[in-house]
Structure 1
Amino acid sequence: MKKLRATAVAALSSSLILTAGSPALADTPADTTDPVIGSIGLTDGQVYNRTTSAFTPTVSDDTGVVMLETLVDGAHSRKFSVAKTGMRVSADLVSVPDGTEVEITLRAYDAAGNVAAKTVRVIADLHAPTATISPAPLTVMHSGPLTITVRDLPDDIAKVALYDSATGNDLDVRTAAPWTFDVTAVPGRKFISVRLTDLRGNVGYAGATYDIDDTPPVISDLAYSRERVVSWAPINVKVTTAGATIAPAGTLTVSVTDPTLRKTEWYVDGELKSTGSTLNWDDRASTRTSATIEIRATDALDQTTSKVFPVAIDRTGPVVTALTPAQNALVRGSYFVTDSEVRDPSELVDAELVGLPSIANAPGGLAIYPKKDGPFTFTWRYVDKLGNETFASRTVNVDNTRPGLKLTKAPKNLAKVKGKVAVTATAGDKNGVAKVQLLINGKLVATDYRAGYAFSINTAKYGKTFKMQLRAYDRAGNYVSTTSRTYRRG
């Protein structure tokens, strides 16, 4: 083995470091003794498989072994340092076909670069056995007796075991064909696990999962929904076999429970409309007020369930039965109040004034604050729980302008009067005068509703002095008063 020494010394030179300041003594003899390999841990003719892929050599040296190397058919395989716990090595035969005879060489190096080598011939067999299982994985079947067949086994198979994947315990073992196992399939998911062992001890695994299904699909109630019409009011309706009311548009959803569900079909009045878990419900082009929705669900074994849901279709928004003020009504003041009454079979969820941010709750309804005189239009919006909408508008005339009033005939202020005194006046307003009133000493004594407003004052009914004043009201309720005049009875 001396011919390996120069190479070995070069290979080890990078790992050997001499301590500075401590030169070797001239009388210390050089180490020229090769390590001694008693056994590489393998024997000629041995099968090198997954179980024996790591082996323990026996090597000795007077100064100690520092490195081990394995070669396969003379080519470098792997290098190993020597651990305190002992020597353990392996060779790289992964790419070698099973049944191939190969040489495995062990080289042992000491610190001086001395090297020893020993070779044995082994038979490579590192590949785990494989197989296929029938019935094919993910097969759906009814419960009952089930025969599992392990197929496509290698020629050197020695044992096939059916085992519990949870515990690892064998349930049944075969050491010769036929490679079949009889099991009982119960409803649910069935796991089949087999362990394969070849003649040389290599172990492989195969498995399959089956769905055992004896029951048809289970269909839940329907859920109807649509986009929100009012931001805070979600639109969701549960539709049962007893029926429910829905709008003519929205989304219908169903949940079908079955481990092997194959298809879900939606029929509306007997016509197939959709498949899957949802139906895009759009019946706006129709005028019908009811429909029958049927769900048919079928699993992989053609077990079918049908469920019928009658629905009423609410196509109309809330109906306004009263709305105040009336159309073209005259209103006055800094605000006026509007209110309404509605009816709806699907329940009202929102009523609001559209586009009027300056509104407030007020006795009897909502207060609207107009900015100027003249026609003013406002609109109510009503929404029921299915999202159907109704809009109702009113136009009123805002009148905050006082009428005009002028005395045309009356005694002057501080005049002496007696008997019956005539008083007349004119009054005007763009929206019409409602009335003119006569007040004596601040108390109402007479009202005239027609133009050419005239009054007769019986002075005998009052004291020596009294005050007279006229007040005019327009149709909106605005009023104006004349300056009061004081009279003395003569």
Structure 2
Amino acid sequence: MKFIVAAAFATSATVLAATPALAGPSLHTRAASIAPSAAAGAAGAVSIVTGTGLTEGQLLPQYPQVRPVFADGVTVSTAEVLVNGVLAETFTAPVPADLRFSWPDPVKLHDTDAAVTIRASGTDGSLGEASTRVRVDILAPQATLTPADRAIVSGVVPLQVASRHPDVARVEVRAWGGRIVGTADRAPWIVNWNTAGLNGSTFLMVNVYDHAGNAWPLGRDYEVDNAGPSVKSITPAHGSLVRGAVRTSISASDPSGIASASVRGGRATASPYTWTAKPTAQGPFTVEWTVTDKLGHRTVARRTVINDTVKPAVRVTRAPKKGAKLTKSVTVTAAAADRYGVARVQLLVNGKVVATDTKAAYAFTLNPKRYGKKFTVQIRAYDRAGNVTTTTRVTYRR
């Protein structure tokens, strides 16, 4: 089946086809300016039109153009295109090489033979005309294209045109800006589009031409996905201190969707993509995620954390002697150290935290009046990874 391509389609098809702009006539009139009898010239005179530029039976499309041949040494002042004797276009000096014209009654002329006549006059008064009988075909071949509009594509994409009309002659694919992506001149009308180097939304114009040159335009937007998933975040943060186990998670997205995500040494997980890794050595440990999209593209993302399972060192540096009787407030001081830093030191009375200090040197005030006649005191230290050390209990009286 073929359809008349509306002016809007014709315009969109030619925007990307990178064809020259329609060269309109210098003067367009429906009244013949060259009298037929004059154009014929006197008997034996040489016509200044030596050819129409067409061949007998040639197919002409909805928007035709001709390149007539004029006699050498003659400057043409006026040229006319007539269809079956009806004036279609008039051109005045400077007359363009290609004469573009419109059919006087395109619907009526479709699928019929028509006589195209070129009639001209020269600046020296010479006249002439020539005619060729052609076949009029103003309908473009309707077609469909796969993949569908807005499809997600990757790598080399076979663009296939399907048409029920037998008159398809050529398929041409152009990128935005007019660059030719590829062409096909025979069934099954496939153009392989190499998307290497592209990513994101990409527009293509596919023109399906028949033998007359009519074009059926198929503009398509595709989402090209040649990259691996985009990683938004990974936990824990780079340089985090962990204590023997790393509960890690990853957030990623991709136009084609996420197929899987896995940590090195662990199985693939489903959303929300979490895993617990268990480093064995002290110090830096790399968490390596591999995220794969549904097209098979992968992204590897890494985070380095610090494994620290060593407890901090802590000792009491000043305090009453063990078993001492306390009648008033006293000061207890402590020292703590750790390779990756001390987070806090606490004073415990009877096993309960009564004071916390986060700055060295660590000092606490112990008021015996707040406790019973007999109580115990300890110092507890935490490092930044969460490891903890507690001193032995010391008993006091009041």
TM-score of the aligned structures, taking structure 1 as reference length: 0.45
d(CA) in 1 for partners of 2:253, 2:173: 33
String of CA shifts for 1:72-95, please: whole Å, max 9, x gaps: xxxxxxxxxxxxxxxxxxxxxxxx
Gaps of 5+ in 1: 1-214, 224-238
* Structure 1 partner of 2:335: 426
Amino acid of the residue matched to residue 364 of structure 2? F
- Residue by residue over 1:37-66, the C-alpha shift from the partner in whole angstroms, topping out at 9 and shown as x without a partner, is xxxxxxxxxxxxxxxxxxxxxxxxxxxxxx
Count of aligned pairs between the two proteins: 253
CA distance in 2, matches of 1:418, 1:360: 62
Give 1:358-397 correspondences, 5 Å limit.
Answer: 365-385=274-294, 389-397=298-306
Query: Contact (CA 8 Å) 1:472, 1:479: kept in 2 or not?
Result: yes
CA distance in 2, matches of 1:404, 1:268: 72
Q: 1:249 aligns with which of 137, 155, 165?
A: 155
Report what 1:281 is aligned to.
193
Q: In the alignment, is the contact (CA less than 8 A) between 2:263 and 2:275 conserved in 1? A: no
Whether the 8 Å contact between 1:321 and 1:342 is mirrored in structure 2 is yes
Is contact 1:378–1:394 with CA below 8 Å preserved after alignment? yes
Letter of the aligned partner of 1:403 in structure 2? Answer: P
Distance verdict in 2 for CA 1:263–1:485, change over 3 Å: farther
Structure 1 residues 331, 288: closer, same or farther in 2, change over 3 A? Answer: closer
Match of 2:358 among 449, 460, 465: 449
2:244 matches 1:320: no
Q: Quick check: which has more Rg, 1 or 2?
A: 1
SS of alignment partner, residue 321 of structure 1: strand
Residue 310 (structure 1) aligns with: 220
For 2:357 and 2:257, the matched residues in 1 are separated by 47
Q: Do the aligned residues in 2 keep the contact of 1:353 with 1:378 (CA within 8 Å)?
A: no
Asked whether 1:221 is paired with 2:130, we answer no
- 8 Å Cα contact 2:263-2:288 kept in structure 1: yes
Matched, 1:436 2:345: yes
Cα offset, 1:285, TM superposition: 3.8
469-478 vs 363-372, which moves further: 363-372
2:242 corresponds to 1:336? no
- The reply to whether residue 482 of structure 1 matches residue 394 of structure 2 is no
Which of the numbers 391, 404, 407 marks the counterpart of 2:313? 404
Query: 1:302–1:360: structure 2 CA closer, same or farther, 3 Å change rule?
Result: closer
- Asked whether the equivalents of residues 229 and 297 of structure 2 are also in contact (C-alpha less than 8 Å), the reply is yes
Alpha carbons of structure 1 residues 278 and 366: separation in structure 2 relative to 1, 3 Å: farther
Confirm or deny: 8 A CA contact 2:260 2:270 kept in the other structure: no
Which one has more relative contact order, counting CA pairs under 8 Å at least 6 apart?
Answer: 2
Q: CA deviation at 1:422?
A: 2.2
Match of residue 30 from structure 1 = none
CA contact (8 A) 1:361 1:367 kept: no
Q: Counterpart of 1:417 in 2: which secondary structure? A: coil
Residue 462 of structure 1 corresponds to: 371
| CA-to-aligned-CA distance 1:208-251 (integer Å, 9 cap, x gap) | xxxxxxx986634313xxxxxxxxxxxxxxx1xxx314345232
Task: Tell me the SS of whatever aligns to 1:254.
Answer: strand
Deviation per CA, 1:288-340, whole angstroms, max 9, x where unpaired?
A: 84221415265xx879773414124445554433321111111113x221123
Matches within 5 A, 1:136-175: none
Q: Which has more strand, going by share of residues?
A: 1
Cα displacement (A) at 1:260: 5.3
Q: CA deviation at 1:265?
A: 2.6
Amino acid aligned to 1:471: R
- Deviation at 1:407? 1.7
1: CA distance, partners of 2:338 / 2:313: 6
Matches of 2:390 and 2:347, distance apart in 1: 10
CA RMSD for the aligned pairs? 3.4
Q: Percent identity?
A: 34
